[in-house]
A and B are shown apart, each in its own frame.
Chain A
Amino acid sequence: MMTLSETAVAGPSFELTEEQRMLQDMVRDFATSTLAPRAAAYDRSCEFPHDNVKEMAELGLLGVTVPDTYGGAGMDTLAYTIVIEEIAKACASTAVIAAVQNSLVNFPLMKFGTEEQKKKYLPKLASGELIGAYSLTEPGSGSDAVAMQTRVRKEGNKYILNGTKVFVTNATGAELFIVYATLDPELKSKGVCAFIIEKNYPGFSVGRHEEMMGVRASGTSELILDNCEVPLENLLGTEGEGFKIALATLDVGRLGIAAQAIGIAQACLDYSLGYAQERKQFGKAIATFQLIQNKLVEMAVNIDAARMLLWRAAWLRERGQNFTKEASMAKLFASETAMKAGIEAVQVLGGYGYTKDYPVERYFRDAKITQIYEGTAEVQKIVIARHLTNPA
C-alpha cells in the first residue's frame, strides 16, 4: 500500500491511497447514518454532542495523526482533512470539535510536549477518554493575539494564571485545555507561554456559554482563570515559547477549518443539486435553467479548487516544508467558497431554503464562522501578503 509520502516524491497525487479511500468511505458512512440525522436537533439545542464525540472516538477519529505508539491512528495530514470534510458535510459543529481535538490539542502536544506529557495525555486524547480545548482568544485580543492580558506568574512549585479567555470551542465538553498566558504584556510575543490545564485544577472554571449563529453545538464558552494553579511540569514548550507554539498550531488548525469549510460547501452543493433536479417550475426541473446551472457549476468548481489548495498544503506539510502561506490560501479560499455556497444553496431552494424544514439555512449559518475563526479572511490575506512580499 502506497502512502502519501511515498507518492509525494514525484509530486502531489490527485488520487487517494487505498487506505485514505477506505477511511473516507468509513467516515462518510458514519457521518451520513449517525451524525446527519442528529445535526438539526443539536443546532437547535446548542448542547454539546457527547454521543457524537464518543462514537468518533471509537472510530479513532479523535487521534487521526497521533502515532500508534501513543494510541492514535498514525495517519497523515491528508487523511485528517478527509475526516474533517466528511464530518462537516453532516454536522459542522461536530467537525469543529474533532478539528480542535486533532489539530489544536493533539498537534501541539506531539510537537512541543515532553515525553512525559505525551505519555500522560496523548493516549487518552486519541481514545477520546479526554476531550481537549484550545484557548488563545481574549475579549481584547482576537486577530491581535499578542495583545493578550491573561497573566502568569511562577510561585513555588506552580504557575498561577489569571484572566479570561473567550470563544473556546469544546469548552463545555472538554477535560483538558491548552491555554496561553503572558509573563508580562510588555514583553509582547516573547512573554507568551502555553500550558496544559486539567479541568479540575484549582481556580479554573468554564464561564458563559456563547449562543452563536452557527456551529451552535460546539460547546463554545468563556474560560475563567482565577488564581488557577498549574503544576510546573504542565508548561508546554519553554517559557516565552508560547507565541511560536500558537503560530505553528494555527497553521495546522487552518487545514482543519479549510476541510470543515469544504465539507459545508459540498453539503450545499449536494443538497442543491438534488433539489434542483426534483423541483419543477415552468414545467421543467429547475436544474435545466441556466441561472440555476450557473450556481451549481460555480459551487462545484470552487469546491474542487479549494480541495486542491488544501491537499497541496497537506502534501507540503508531509514533506516537512513550510506550508504557512499555502494553509492560509486554502483556508481563505475554502471559507469564501463555503459562504458563497451557503448563500446560493438557500437561493436555489428559494422560500423553502429560508425555512428550517431544509438543512441549507443551517449550512448558511455554519459557513460564516469559517471566515472568522483560526484567523479571519482579512488576517489570512495579511499572512499571504507577508509571504508574497518577503519570500523565505
Chain B
Amino acid sequence: MKTFRFETKVLNDATLKFAADEMKVNQEYVSLKVVEEKHGLLGLNKNYVVEAVVNFDPINDSIRFLQMILTDMEIKAIVEAHQGEENNFTFTIDAEENPILIGRNGKTLDAIQTLLKNYINIFTDEHYMVLVDIGGYKEQRKKQLEILATKTAKEVAKSRISVCLNKMNAYERRVIHTKLSDWRDVTTESEGEEPNRYVVIRPKAK
C-alpha cells in the first residue's frame, strides 16, 4: 500500500486533501494517523507527524469494483479471486451472458483487464500482475494457441520456410513464445508495431 509521511501544524480537511494530492489518489481512500506530536520550545509550536495510508485491499476492493461495474451493466455474475505466487492475481468472472463480456476476439475482456490493472496499480506502490478470465475463455484460447504453435512449428521444421502468424496481443504472443522456447528446430520472434504485432516462426540455422 502507498504510505506518505509528513509534518503539519494543523489537522483538518485541508491536511487530508494535501496528502491525497501528494499521493495522487482519491481522498475517499485515504486515512490519516498521527504518529507523533512534536512540541517546539516552551510548548508553543506544535507539530504533528502524520502518516497517510491508502485504504485498499487488492483482492476485496477489486472484487467490489468488478461487481459494481457488472451490476451497472445489469449482468448477474460471480466474481472470484485467486492469488498466485507473489503479486499475481487471477480474477475469474462467470456470468449468464459471457459472450457480451468477452467481446469480439476477447476485446471487452482485455478492456476489463486493462482497467482493473490500472485501478489496482493506482492505489499501490508494488506492481501487480493481473489476469482476468471470463468463463474459462483465456484457458481455452491458450490451449488453442498451443495447438496452433505446435502444428505450425512442425511444418516450419519440415519445410524450413518461415511462417508469420496472425496479429495477436501481448499475452497471446507470450503463450506462443513460451510453448516453442524449448524446441530445437525453430526460433520465434515478434515483429511489427502494436497493435499489429505478430509472431514469426523461423527454422533454426544448423
Q: Do A and B come from one complex?
A: no
Chain A residues within CB distance 8 Å of chain B: none
Chain B residues within CB distance 8 Å of chain A: none
